[in-house]
Each structure stands twice: as C-alpha cells, then as structure tokens.
Amino acid sequence: MPAVSASAPGKVILFGEHAVVYGQPAIAAPVTGVAVKVIVQPNLLQPPGSIEIDSPAVDFHATRSELPEQHPLNILFHQIEQTLHIARLPAMKIRINSTLPAGAGMGSSAAVSVAMIRAITRFIGLPLNNEQVNQIAFEVEKAFHGTPSGIDNTVITYQMPIYFIKNYQPRLIHLKEPITLVIANAGEAPSTAEMVAGVRQRWQQFPQRYEQIFRQIGRVVEAALQILENGNWQQLPPLMRENHQLLQEIGVSSPSLDKLVSAALQCGAYGAKLTGGGGGGNIIALVQPEQADSIAQKLREEGALHTWLTTLHPSENG
C-alpha cells in the first residue's frame, strides 16, 4: 500500500454562531489558505490495529493503544471500522501537518478529523462519501467539544459555503459575487465548548430572552442567505453589525473583539463581526479586495495577533 494523503481547509462562521446550537440556521464558509494535511503510510511488520500518530505542530506523538478509550482519535478509528464493517484497521503511520492554528476558532479539530478520515479510508482502498465522512467527523467533534451543532465538520467536509441547520443536510450556497474577508485574531479564547456551555447556562436562566435573541439571529441569517445567493453584498454590513450586537447581548463578545470590530470599521471595512465561539478568538471584516492588505495591517497595529485574508469565490456551476 503506497502512502496516501488528504487535506482539509479551515472555516469561518459568517452568520449565526451559537444560535445554531439551538436549531437556528447559520452560514459558514471554508478558508482555503490554511489547511491540515494528513499522510498515511504502511507501518511495516506491525500487527493490524497498530497505529502511530505524529503531529509535530502540536507536539503530539502517540500510538492507538496508548490512547484512552474515549479519546477523540480512538472514536475516529472505531467509527471508521464500524462504518466500513471491518474488525481492525491495518497497521499504519499517520502524520498530521497543519498550517491551521489550533484553538483559534478556525475549525482545526474538525479539519484534522476530516483529513484523517479521508486519508485513512483512501489508504485502505475504501473511500467514504461526503455524508459518511461528515457523520464520523461529527461524532469526533462531540468527543472534542461536548454539544457542537455540527456546522464546523459540515463546512469543512463539503468545502463550500453552507447554510446549515442542526440535524439537517446542509444547503450548499452558490455565491453570486466574490467576497473578500480579513480574519483577525484578538488573542486567546476560552474553548468553544466553554463558550457554548456559558450560553447554555444563561439560556437556562433567561430562556425567553435568549430564545428571542436566537430567533432574531435566525432572521439575520435568512436575510444574509438571500443576499449571498442573489448578489448585492453591500447589503451585508448592517446584518453583520446586527449579528455582532446580538452576540454581545448573549455575552460572547469581549473587549478585544469589540475593539477589533470598531477598528476594522474605522479603517474602511464595510462590515465586521466576531466569528465562532467568541470570548476572544477571531473577527471577520468584509473588505474591498484592494484594501484587504492595508486593513489587515491596521488591525495588527490595533492589537490583532494574526490576520488572514480569504476570498470566497462564486462557484462555477452556480
């Protein structure tokens, strides 16, 4: 069996984070400038089931037998075996290379899962379809993050902008016009699981108020979908502002995120909002392509630890 590799991109949530956990729709897009690449090769002379995993970027080195039963990677291996109806994966060495920052809200855990599932199943000659890859990646995300909506693994599996409602097949969005975004990192954030748990606690305390905000976020998402599919992206900025304000109201923004959102608007971005779990982490700013570099630089001057540029392109068959 020759070595086989597979890659998966990062992701951003454009609209609807957190409310999506409560059944509202959300929109996410892949970020193709960053990626996880997984290479699988035979582990010669080792018995079946003997798997070595190496992820130099996060200094992780382990064998399958060393991992606790409930470790996300063990869940991934079990899920593949179950889906393919095989007793034991063959002996292999798995190397994970990544330019996708871990813990920065760009979907690194889902990207690792998707790339691993694809690389392993191709390696053994039994590749899975998108739906199966997504299903397994979702099980692994639950092991990583508690009660995720599944949006991260879905957008990363399909590698297209998606309109997503929990427990439903995603709708692939065919963009009418290209969209350029600056993603800026405001610094370390609590884990997504912690942020989601915090919202859950406050939702239990103030159910009516939170339900109302979630529904309002859902309406913003519906309006954004129309614009993305029909063009006229100039109408997106007010929706970004409204979504950011609603996220502030449910307590997931932070002074550093608010500062970067204001800075982005002041230096010429059309719209900006926090993206993902919040509490730190990333904002997205919608910009004119010619201004992307200068806005990214200004955001770094205003305290962003890192910036990325990404353009979402209309799909060819759209």
Segment 3 to 42, residues that bind ligand MEV, using CB under 6 A: 13, 17-18, 20-21
Contact between 186 and ligand MEV by CB under 6 A: the answer reads no
Contact between 192 and ligand MEV by CB under 6 A: the answer reads yes
CB nearer to ligand MEV: pick between 20 and 80 = 20
**Separation of alpha carbons 3 and 123, rounded Å:** 7
Contact between 113 and ligand MEV by CB under 6 A: the answer reads no
Give SS3 for 284: strand
Token pair 């990404």 is at which residue? 310
Tokens linked to 84:
């393919």
**Separation of alpha carbons 295 and 276, rounded Å:** 21
Among residues 133, 112, 126, 127, which one has the least CA distance to residue 39? Answer: 112
Among 30, 90, 148, 281, binds ligand MEV (CB under 6 A): 148
Indicate which residues carry an active-site annotation.
Answer: 152
Among 151, 189, 274, 284, binds ligand MEV (CB under 6 A): 151
Contact region for ligand MEV (CB under 6 A) — 64-72, 149-157, 215-223, 236-244? 149-157
Contact region for ligand MEV (CB under 6 A) — 72-80, 82-90, 148-156, 310-318? 148-156
What is the rounded radius of gyration, in angstroms, for the C-alpha atoms of the chain?
A: 20
CB nearer to ligand MEV: pick between 137 and 295 = 137
Contact between 137 and ligand MEV by CB under 6 A: the answer reads no
Dihedral over alpha carbons 259, 311, 247, 251 (to 10 degrees): -60
Site string for ligand MEV, 257-276 (x = CB under 6 A): -------------------x
The answer to whether the beta carbons of residues 277 and 17 sit under 8 Å apart is yes
CB nearer to ligand MEV: pick between 27 and 287 = 27
Using the CB atoms, write b or e for 164-189: b if 16+ within 10 Å: bbbeeebbebebeeebbbbbbbbbeb
Contact between 218 and ligand MEV by CB under 6 A: the answer reads no
Residues within the interface to ligand MEV (CB under 6 A) = 13, 17-18, 20-21, 148-149, 151-152, 192, 196, 276-277
